[in-house]
Structure 1
Amino acid sequence: MVKFQYKTMNKYLVGMVIIVATLLVVGLVISNSTNKETENNSDTLKWNDNLDQAIQEAKATNKTVFVDLYADWCTYCGEMDKNTFTSLEVQEKLSQNYVLVKIDVDKNPGPSSKYQAYSLPTMLILDSNGNEIKRIVGYQSPEKLLSQI
């Protein structure tokens, strides 16, 4: 009788281990697919990080330049990345009409000094010579940004 209970208990434990392992694998698969979808949404826009190269590209393609000046510590900059720049309408309009540049002002303070951008986020629209056409300061919802670009 003791042998029977031991075998039954082993089968129960093995069954539980299999169930727990399966749940862990399914959870990891779902987590990875969700992360990839998020990464793909935020990576849809192709940002340059070199303003001079972007200006040269704008000259070659007859476009204007859209500059996003940001910092990692800027809460509203992160909100723009999460909410505004992931909007499909914003992505479509930006990618069709502009050469895009995203500049971390802590790592590259030159452009923020040159254009006297003292608050973040600041977005600049520049012509293909680097002259400022328009300045957009502060958090912009997708709708608000679309109305300005």
Structure 2
Amino acid sequence: MKKIVSFTFLFFMLGGVVIAQSKINWLTFEEAAAKTQENPKMVFVDVYTDWCGWCKKMDKETFTDPKVVAYINENFYPVKMNAENTKRKFMFRGREYTEATMAATMRVRSYPNFIIMDAAMENITQYPGYRQPEPFLTGLTGILEKFGK
């Protein structure tokens, strides 16, 4: 009986955590770089454009799914980067970038595109294209299993 009560309590607590995290805690690229120096963690970069319909669909359907939100917030420093923004400038490794020049440096050519970086801020892989929540989580889990945390 004690195990059932403990399991039920744990189930509701974990469920509450998923519900409590209603949105992804998006950062700028430079915020993620600073955070990973303080506390090493992989970086997830969502590279999008304003005109991209599939990007908007990802924002509306996949990036609002409670499981996706919890998984990304727990395992990554998430970054939103507009591949056509040439106005906002930031420094990275002694060079000045815009979001557009950083996207080009990362060799992003299609949208949406997701860049996975390790804690040293090195690109590990690209994960391009629209995906519904479950396949998206399956793919991210596979990436984490392959490249480690």
Could you say which structure has the higher strand fraction? 2
TM-score if structure 1 supplies the norm length? 0.68
Percent identity among equivalent residues?
A: 30
- 3-state DSSP of counterpart to 1:133: strand
The reply on whether 1:115 has 2:106 as its aligned counterpart is yes
TM-score if structure 2 supplies the norm length? 0.68
The structure that has the greater radius of gyration is 1
Aligned counterpart, 1:37: none
- Shift, 1:145, TM fit: 1.0
Unpaired runs of at least 5, structure 2: 1-19, 86-98, 141-149
Aligned counterpart, 1:45: 24
- Shift, 1:56, TM fit: 2.1
- Shift, 1:129, TM fit: 2.1
The reply on whether 1:127 has 2:97 as its aligned counterpart is no
For the 8 Å contact 2:43–2:78, the answer to whether it is kept is: yes
Further displaced range: 80-89 or 123-132: 123-132
For the 8 Å contact 1:56–1:128, the answer to whether it is kept is: no
Aligned counterpart, 2:64: 86
> Partner letter of residue 46 of structure 1?
N
> Partner letter of residue 44 of structure 1?
K
Aligned counterpart, 1:69: 47
Deviations 1:20-78, CA, capped at 9 Å, x for gaps: xxxxxxxxxxxxxxxxxxxxx997211112x1331221232221000000011000000
Which whole-Å CA distance do the structure 1 matches of 2:133 and 2:115 have between them?
A: 16
Further displaced range: 137-146 or 52-61: 52-61
Shift of the 137–90 alpha-carbon distance from structure 1 to 2, 3 Å rule, reads same
Structure 1 residue ranges (4+ consecutive) displaced by more than 3 angstroms after TM superposition = none
- 3-state DSSP of counterpart to 2:109: coil
For the 8 Å contact 1:68–1:102, the answer to whether it is kept is: yes
> Partner letter of residue 122 of structure 1?
N
For the 8 Å contact 1:42–1:86, the answer to whether it is kept is: no
> Partner letter of residue 36 of structure 2?
A
